[in-house]
């Protein structure tokens, strides 16, 4: 049972490399999420919808909290995802404003 994958055999450097790899993956996923939010912003502009959708944001936070298996507690998970939502909404709002301005200029 003493194979090379035993967690007690990992050094601090091993754990840090693992964290670095996860951070890289988190960054990739956050940017992917932001790109999708920009596409949603385009749809909202075309449909005349507002950037902020309180019901959807509440739904996302509730779904994430329900899926959380820890060790982060519900409050922490909601705080993290709330920040992600705020930042992607900000980006989406900027895109919506740019798209609206471009539409006005063309008119």
Q: How far is CA 80 from CA 59, 61, 72, 84, 85, in A?
A: 15, 10, 10, 6, 9
Q: Is pTM, for the whole model, over 0.75? A: yes
How high is the pLDDT of residue 5?
A: 56
Query: Is cis: bond before 25, omega within 30 of 0?
Result: no
> Structural domain boundaries of the chain?
17-106
Query: What is 17-106's CATH number?
Result: 1.20.59.10
Instruction: Tell me which residues of the chain have a pLDDT lower than 70.
Output: 1-7, 103, 107
């Amino acid at each position: 049972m003493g194979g090379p994958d035993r967690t007690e055999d990992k050094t601090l450097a091993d754990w840090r490399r693992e964290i670095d790899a996860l951070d890289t993956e988190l960054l990739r996923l956050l940017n992917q999420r932001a790109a999708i939010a920009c596409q949603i912003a385009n749809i909202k502009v075309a449909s005349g919808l507002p950037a902020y959708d309180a019901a959807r944001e509440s739904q996302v936070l509730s779904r994430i909290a329900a899926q959380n298996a820890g060790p982060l507690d519900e409050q922490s998970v909601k705080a993290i995802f709330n920040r992600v939502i705020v930042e992607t909404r900000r980006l989406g709002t900027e895109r919506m404003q740019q798209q609206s301005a471009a539409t006005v200029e063309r008119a």
